[in-house]
Amino acid sequence: MMNRVARIRGTGAYLPEKVLTNQDLEQMVDTSDEWIFTRTGMKERRLAGPDEFTSGMGAKAALAAIEDSGLTVDEIDFILVATLTPDYIFPSTACLIQQLLGAKKAASLDIQAACTGYLYALSLAKSFIESGAYRHILVVAAEKLSSITNYKDRSTCVLFGDGASACVVSSEGEGLAIQSVRLGSDGEQAELLIQPAGGCRLPASAETVAGDQHYIKMAGNEVFKHAVRRMESACKECIDAAQIDELDISWVVPHQANIRIIDAIAKRFKHLSPERVYKTVQKYGNTSASSVGIALHELRKEQSLQEGERILLTAFGAGLTWGAALLQAQR
């Protein structure tokens, strides 16, 4: 049987223009630039406009990724969209993006794995390609987190931003080979990070709106501890699965939830200088599913990756969910 290799052959990102700074937040809730920066590493984040939605931001990132891949929209076989802020509960945001792109032959599917969604989507794309089922898969991660953020709750509203990322995963062409992916979940901790209302347990009602139950609720401290532990172990499993050594990694691209979480992960990679743990948290905050893809796209644009260089992606989010993926630059 032919040995197919799934590779990322194009990436893209889209960030809305409007910037929300720490100083802006000081006017909205009882917080300070100093608190936000020292506790999270964030200085600013982006906000989508009132007529800008997850589908539209995702489509813009997708078009950039398709152009970067050298393919055309008509060649896309499948669209996988990772988001926790879909335009609607149904139909899927993937179908809306399919329509916006005019990707007529593509099948479309949403994935709900919160901040780990990009890695869950990559894992599915890898399997689809390696099985021979499809040749060109568009992975999109897009979030309008501002639509579910309570701008009266200082413990969450300083953290989140809007944005989108995308990549094209193909069976052919130059790019970043997806060498191994490791994923995990723990539904026991589902309530640590949750949007309580709007589903079938608590359908939208005057009471749920009055009780702010359509907003993100997070037990930040608890989540923090799980995030560090789970991403560390996912990275180790992913490296072991590829039968390589930590020394073989050139870049680590972690989920951009908090600089202190990123620094804790970075400590694990003793041979890597801190600049090799890629960060966008200071300028975009936490964009949930989109965050790893935005960072990977910016890394590819800033650095000319050499043949053979390895990049480790890792993410963590609601569910709880977590994962890691190992990529290698190949011509």
Q: Would you count residue 158 as binding ligand ACO (CB under 6 A)? A: yes
Q: Catalytic residue at 255?
A: yes
- What residues between 275 and 314 interact with ligand ACO by CB under 6 A? 286, 288
Q: Would you count residue 258 as binding ligand ACO (CB under 6 A)? A: yes
287 Cβ partners below 8 Å, 6+ apart? 45, 143, 145, 160, 161, 162, 163, 256, 294
- Residue 165's SS3 state is strand
Distance CA 142, CA 144 (A): 7
Name the nearest CA neighbour of 22 among 237, 283, 309, 320: 283
Helices (H) and strands (E) in the chain, counts: 11, 13
Stretch that binds ligand ACO, among 35-43, 86-94, 203-211, 293-301 (CB under 6 A): 35-43
What single-letter amino acid sits at 133?
A
Binding ligand ACO (rule: CB under 6 A), the pick from 154, 214, 217, 276 is 154
**Cα Rg of the chain (Å, integer):** 19
Stretch that binds ligand ACO, among 15-23, 220-228, 275-283, 306-314 (CB under 6 A): 220-228
Q: Catalytic residue at 115?
A: yes
To ligand ACO, the closest distance from the beta carbon of 160 in angstroms equals 7
User: Of 22, 95, 255, 258, which residue is the catalytic one?
Assistant: 255
- What residues between 99 and 128 interact with ligand ACO by CB under 6 A? 114-115
Burial class (CB in 10 A: 0-12, 13-18, 19+), 158: buried
User: Of 115, 167, 235, 238, which residue is the catalytic one?
Assistant: 115
Binding ligand ACO (rule: CB under 6 A), the pick from 4, 39, 135, 268 is 39
Binding ligand ACO (rule: CB under 6 A), the pick from 257, 311, 313, 326 is 257
Closest to ligand ACO by CB, 4 vs 154, is 154
To ligand ACO, the closest distance from the beta carbon of 98 in angstroms equals 25
User: Of 22, 157, 238, 286, which residue is the catalytic one?
Assistant: 286
Name the nearest CA neighbour of 76 among 87, 86, 90, 62: 62
Q: Catalytic residue at 136?
A: no
Closest to ligand ACO by CB, 129 vs 265, is 265
Kind of pairing between the strands at 163-170 and 175-185: unpaired
For residue 329, list its beta bridge partners.
176
Closest to ligand ACO by CB, 115 vs 272, is 115
Residues marked active site are found at 115, 255, 286
